[in-house]
Amino acid sequence: MTLAFVVNSGSSSIKWELLEAESGESVRRGIVERIGEAGGDAADHRQAMTSIIGMLGAEHPVVIGHRVVHGGDLFSAATVVTPEVEAAIEKLSSLAPLHNPSNLAGIRAAQVAFPGIPNVAVFDTAFHQSLAPAAYTYAIDAQVAADHSVRRYGFHGTSYQYVSRRAAEVLERPLGDLRLIVFHLGNGASACAIAGGRSVDTSMGMTPLEGLVMGTRSGDLDPGALFHLAREAGLGTPELDTLLNRRSGILGLSGHGDMRDLVESMKAGDAASRLAFDVYVHRLRHYLGAYIAQLGGVDAVVFTAGVGENSPDVRAGALAGLGGLGIHLDAARNARRSPEPRRISTDDSPVAVLVVPTNEELEIARQSLAALG
Ligand code: ADP
197 and 343 inside one domain: yes
- The pLDDT of residue 228 is 98
Residue having the nearest C-alpha atom to atom 23 of ligand 1: 310
118 and 229 inside one domain: no
Q: Which atom of ligand 1 is nearest to the CA of 314?
A: 25
Q: Which of 82, 106, 123 is the last residue of a domain?
A: 123
Q: How far is the CA of 305 from the centre of ligand 1 (A)?
A: 7
Residue having the nearest C-alpha atom to atom 12 of ligand 1: 306
Q: Which of 123, 149, 183 is the last residue of a domain?
A: 123
Ligand 1 pocket, Cβ-based, cut-off 6 angstroms: 186-188, 215, 258-260, 305-307, 310-311
User: What's the average pLDDT block by block, 10 residues per block, for the chain (373 residues)?
Assistant: 94 94 92 91 92 84 97 97 98 92 96 95 98 98 97 98 98 98 98 98 97 98 98 97 97 98 98 98 98 98 98 98 98 97 98 98 97 92
Q: How far is the CA of 207 from the centre of ligand 1 (A)?
A: 21
112 and 221 inside one domain: no
Q: How far is the CA of 91 from the centre of ligand 1 (A)?
A: 32
236 and 354 inside one domain: yes
- The pLDDT of residue 112 is 94
205 and 269 inside one domain: yes
Residue having the nearest C-alpha atom to atom 22 of ligand 1: 310
Is residue 224 included in any domain, yes or no?
Answer: yes
Q: Which atom of ligand 1 is nearest to the CA of 263?
A: 25
Is residue 14 included in any domain, yes or no?
Answer: yes
187 and 106 inside one domain: no
Is residue 355 included in any domain, yes or no?
Answer: yes
- The pLDDT of residue 54 is 84
CATH code of 236's domain: 3.30.420.40
- The pLDDT of residue 357 is 98
Q: Name the residue among 306, 319, 304 with its Cα closest to residue 355.
A: 304
189 and 317 inside one domain: yes
Domain count, the chain: 2
- The pLDDT of residue 373 is 85
Q: State the residue range of the domain holding 52.
A: 3-123
119 and 179 inside one domain: no
Pairing mode of beta strands 119-123, 63-68: parallel
277 and 353 inside one domain: yes
Is residue 195 included in any domain, yes or no?
Answer: yes
Mutate to test the pocket of ligand 1, among 124, 259, 263 (most ligand atoms within 8 A of CB): 259
218 and 353 inside one domain: yes
- The pLDDT of residue 182 is 99
Mutate to test the pocket of ligand 1, among 273, 303, 309, 311 (most ligand atoms within 8 A of CB): 311
Q: Which atom of ligand 1 is nearest to the CA of 261?
A: 16
Is residue 366 included in any domain, yes or no?
Answer: no
Residue having the nearest C-alpha atom to atom 14 of ligand 1: 258
Rounded Cα gap, residues 90 and 28, in angstroms: 30
348 and 200 inside one domain: yes
107 and 183 inside one domain: no
Residue having the nearest C-alpha atom to atom 21 of ligand 1: 310
- The pLDDT of residue 53 is 87
Q: How far is the CA of 304 from the centre of ligand 1 (A)?
A: 10
List active site positions.
124
Predicted TM-score (pTM) of the model is 0.96
Is residue 312 included in any domain, yes or no?
Answer: yes
With b meaning 16 or more CB within 10 Å and e meaning fewer, what string describes 121-146? bbbbbbbbbbbeeebbeeeeeeeeee
Q: Which atom of ligand 1 is nearest to the CA of 184?
A: 6
Mutate to test the pocket of ligand 1, among 156, 310, 313, 336 (most ligand atoms within 8 A of CB): 310
Residue having the nearest C-alpha atom to atom 27 of ligand 1: 307
Q: Which atom of ligand 1 is nearest to the CA of 305?
A: 6
